[in-house]
Amino acid sequence: MIDIDFYKMDGLVPAVAQEYGSNEVLMVGFMNQEALALTLKTKIAHYFSRSKNRIWKKGETSGNIQKVVDVKVDCDADTILLIIEQVGNVACHTGAKSCFFNSFEEPEIKRYPLIKSGIADLPTRYGKFKVKAYKDGCQEHLAIMSQDFFTLEEPIVRIHSECLTGDTIGSLKCDCSNQLDLALKRIAKEGGLVIYHRQEGRNIGLVNKINAYKLQDAGYNTIQANLELGFKEDERDYRAVGVILKDLKISKVKLVTNNPTKIAFVEELGIEITERIPSITARNEHNEKYIQVKKEQMGHML
Ligand SMILES: [Zn+2]
């Protein structure tokens, strides 16, 4: 689960901590392989003391006083991010910094922390949007909002799954870029939000997606190709989207989608879908079969 190359970094990697719901990330110490293994096993943060050349012991000034809620590895596999709940009311001394962590009130299952940016303006060819970015381990997502977004009671919302080949270079193998274009035009005109969810290729990543395309060149359809590579037909995980929708304080939406999984997910969050807006775009000879498979085998309303 935690794949980090300790040898590359002389055996030690920085461990940073984040309190759920805040943007604050604090450097709390270093971990070696042993400290990480102990942390994962015990769910208590264990750090490596460079001055003592061993793991901090319980009760020492710094170190293992926090209960770990989640452990992630940062993008370049060179930092361990700990989502931490303080056990006991003790300061954690971390070199020059001391910090307190608050206890959580929500049940653990609901916690899914993301690091958030501020909100910036972004002029585009569609119009002027506001954007806010979210970082979830190795994936970074973007909320693209119309200027009036925060005044809308029932914003139009599209959860768009990343498709580099479609969105960026105009691939005709799928309908992704057409759907993105439609959604951005619509929110620019009528107000709303597009969440650009960076889970490429139904979350199998670009390398696997291109391998799936190679299989498709040999006659597999989009589902068969994913299965052949050892994946489920859809590996997407919408938890980060849930956090983003809650962060933007959305309680009612007009949801632009053909995908029943996305409808069920939004409803499960307790967000009311006042209208489903179909996302139907032009077909071509290259994406015809793909769209047909989505309709017939994945239940998309096309
Ligand atoms: Zn696509």
Domain boundary residue, one of 58, 87, 110: 110
CATH number for the domain including 192?
3.40.50.10990
Active-site residues, by number, are: 234, 236
Domains: count for the chain: 2
With a cut of 70, which residues of the chain have pLDDT below it? 1, 18-26, 58-65, 75-76, 85-113
Gap between the Cα atoms of 48 and 32, Å rounded? 6
Considering only CA atoms, which of 42, 23, 78 is closest in space to residue 63?
A: 42
Q: Which domain holds residue 140?
A: 115-199+236-297
266, 271, 275, 280 alpha-carbon torsion, rounded to 10°: -20
Per-residue model confidence (pLDDT) at position 75: 64
- CB within 8 Å of 57: residues ≥ 6 apart: 63, 64
- Phi, psi angle pair for 119, to nearest 5°: -105, 130
Residue 242 lies in a domain: yes
**120 and 73 belong to one structural domain:** no
Domain boundary residue, one of 75, 110, 145: 110
Q: 85, 101 in Cβ contact below 8 A?
A: yes
Q: Which two tokens stand for residue 177?
A: 């870029």
Residue 206 lies in a domain: no
Q: Report how far ligand 1's centroid is from the alpha carbon of 16 (Å).
A: 35
Q: Report how far ligand 1's centroid is from the alpha carbon of 128 (Å).
A: 25
**How far out from the chain centre does Cα 88 lie?**
31
Per-residue model confidence (pLDDT) at position 103: 32
Gap between the Cα atoms of 19 and 266, Å rounded? 25
Per-residue model confidence (pLDDT) at position 59: 63
**121 and 193 belong to one structural domain:** yes
Q: Which amino acid is at 164?
A: L
**148 and 17 belong to one structural domain:** no
**123 and 42 belong to one structural domain:** no
Q: Report how far ligand 1's centroid is from the alpha carbon of 202 (Å).
A: 9
Residue 55 lies in a domain: yes
**166 and 105 belong to one structural domain:** no
Per-residue model confidence (pLDDT) at position 52: 81
